[in-house]
Amino acid sequence: MDAAAGRGANYLATKIMHVTDPFQMAILTYALQVARHKGHDMAYKRLQPMGSHHSTSTSDSVFIVFV
């Protein structure tokens, strides 16, 4: 990984505990995984409870799964 990518991944890792939006956490987790950053596991653990099951009368149920 080049220096700029490493600095970017390090910056994202500092945001793990501050992100509350599931979509943002999914993107952050993915970026850390692609960068093979050590913070990926912590981000994934924070992301898991953010996944949810939604059901409305106007749409099918959606289950968000991040692997």
Q: How confident is the model at residue 62 (pLDDT cuts 50, 70, 90)?
A: very low
Residue keyed to tokens 């990926």: 40
CA angle 6-45-66, nearest 5°? 85
pLDDT digits (tens, 9 = 90+) for 25-61: 999 999 999 999 999 999 999 999 987 654 444 444 4
| Residue of 64, 30, 32 whose CA lies nearest to 48 | 64
pLDDT for residue 51? 79
pLDDT for residue 59? 46
7 or 67, which is more confident: 7
Is the confidence at residue 23, as pLDDT, over 50? Answer: yes
- Locate all alpha helices (DSSP H) within 1-67, ordered by sequence: 3-14, 22-34, 40-47
